[in-house]
Amino acid sequence: MSIFGKIKDAIFGKKAEAAPVPTGSSVPSGSPTTTAAPAPASTMEAPEQVDVEQVLTSISASKGNPDLNWRTSIVDLMKLLDMDSSLANRKELATELGYTGEKDGSAEMNMWLQKEVMRQLAANGGKVPAGLTD
């Protein structure tokens, strides 16, 4: 699995575990007054978008709020998700995401990676605040 795939699964999987989407199967049978039940089910299908900031904040809180600045640091984001944040893995992630600069672990590369990961999470169904993608 790709490095980005692991990041995405760690974030999107945590959301799925934390809040399973209820199904419409709990409607009692033979109850004629439950005609409104199908409407909430269709409404429930729309929120497939994962609030990335909320999930990451929740993970951080569940770990006792470690001193990790995942909002601006790709290294801290990977550490928060219990991933190997080594230069080798960040180089692999940079290649996956199409980074064209020098893959030397520079601040420029790491800042680009952080923003691009957030952009890719947004493109893959995540709700990411603009401040994390700009």
Amino acid at 95: T
Structure confidence by residue, pLDDT tens digits, 45-63:
455 789 999 999 999 999 9
What whole-number distance in Å separates Cα of residue 43 and Cα of residue 67? 38
Helix (H, G, I), strand (E, B) or coil at 51: strand
DSSP annotation of 21 reads P
Of the candidates 125, 131, 88, 96, the residue with the CA atom closest to the CA atom of residue 113: 96
pTM for the model stands at 0.75
Neighbour count for residue 109 (Cβ, 10 Å)? 20
Task: Give me the sign of the Cα torsion angle 133, 3, 1, 13.
Answer: negative
* Mean of per-residue pLDDT scores for the chain: 82
Tokens 């760690």 found at: 10
Structure confidence by residue, pLDDT tens digits, 57-82:
999 999 988 889 999 999 999 999 99
Q: DSSP E strands: which ranges in 1-123?
A: 50-51
